[in-house]
Amino acid sequence: MSDLVDLVIEDERWAALDMGTLAETAARAALNVANVQPDYEICIMGCNDARIAELNAEFREKPTATNVLSWPAFELSPESEGGQPTPPPQGESLGDIAIAYETCAREAVEKGITMQAHVTHLVVHGCLHLLGYDHETDKDATLMEKLEVQALASMGVDNPY
């Protein structure tokens, strides 16, 4: 089994979570519920709020920290609301995901869940974005959330919604 995730750690606090195993397991679960074979690569960066705020400003013109950002390598969005995205080309990089430590830690405390459970959810969420899923419309959000819940349940993580 080859690695699906190329992990880049920019903030040493991520090491305490065993981010490599967590990210690999969550990414595989996301691809599995989307019926996509894991013969891809996904780059996941564990950074801090300052770095993700820079990225959010650069790519989304929102100069604030956020929990997760994703950059899909392909435009896979479905043709109709709530539809299935186009499958990605085989054996390619699916794109990049960045996750901010402080925001994730704060949100986990606010939700009363473990940091591991929250980050697992965000990796699944980011991976589904790389596969063309979104939550811009109610129908799209319903489908994406359903897949997130299924992926999380397969890893023993409670429904975050």
Q: What is the pLDDT of residues 28-67, one digit of tens each?
A: 999 999 999 888 999 999 999 999 999 999 999 999 999 9
Distance between CA 26 and CA 21 in Å, rounded? 8
**Any idea what the Cα angle at residue 126 is, between residues 122 and 127, rounded to 5°?**
120
**What is the domain-level CATH number for residue 145?**
3.40.390.30
Q: What percent of the chain has pLDDT over 70?
A: 99
Q: How far is CA 43 from the centre of its chain?
A: 10
What residue numbers bound the domain in which 150 lies? 5-154
CA distances from 142 to 3, 25, 123, 134, 161 (A): 30, 23, 18, 9, 11
User: Considering the domain boundaries, does residue 21 fall inside one?
Assistant: yes
Tell me, yes or no, whether 144 lies in a domain: yes
pLDDT for res 84: 92
Residue that has been written with the tokens 């435009």 in this structure = 75
Does residue 160 sit within a domain? no
**How confident is the model over 138-154, as pLDDT tens digits?**
999 999 999 999 999 99
Examine residue 76 and state whether it is found in any structural domain, yes or no. Answer: yes
* pLDDT the model gives residue 1: 43
Domain count, the chain: 1
86: tokens are 């186009």
Please report whether residue 161 resides in a domain: no
